[in-house]
Amino acid sequence: MKRSCKLSTLTVGSHAEILGFDSSAENQGRIKHMMEMGMTVGVKVEIAHKAPFGGSIVIHCRRTLIGLRISDASLVEVTRL
């Protein structure tokens, strides 16, 4: 069984695989937007940059860089690789 954590908790340079999303009703629009950017279940990501003091996070996903708010990254369930 894979141990999971939130994308927002990973450190710069960490690699992970997306397992799923927090699918509560108020988050559906944000999750849809992330999926449209290529963040789907099974995709491998790498943390490229984290802004200090809880700012944004930048990830490598499908050969592109994606910037996310920490609140959005906390909706993504991942397993470390």
Q: Which residues pair with 59 in a beta bridge?
A: 47, 66
Residue 2 has pLDDT above 70, yes or no: no
Residue pair 66/7 in contact (Cβ under 8 Å)? The answer is no
CB atoms within 10 A of CB 25: 6
SS3 18: strand
Nearest to 19 by CA among 6, 34, 32: 6
CATH at 65 = 2.30.30.90
**pLDDT tens sequence across 65-78:** 999 999 999 999 99
Q: How far apart are CA 62 and CA 71, in angstroms?
A: 21
How many domains is the chain partitioned into structurally?
A: 1
Q: Which domain holds residue 12?
A: 5-80
**pLDDT tens sequence across 35-70:** 999 999 999 999 999 998 888 999 999 999 999 999
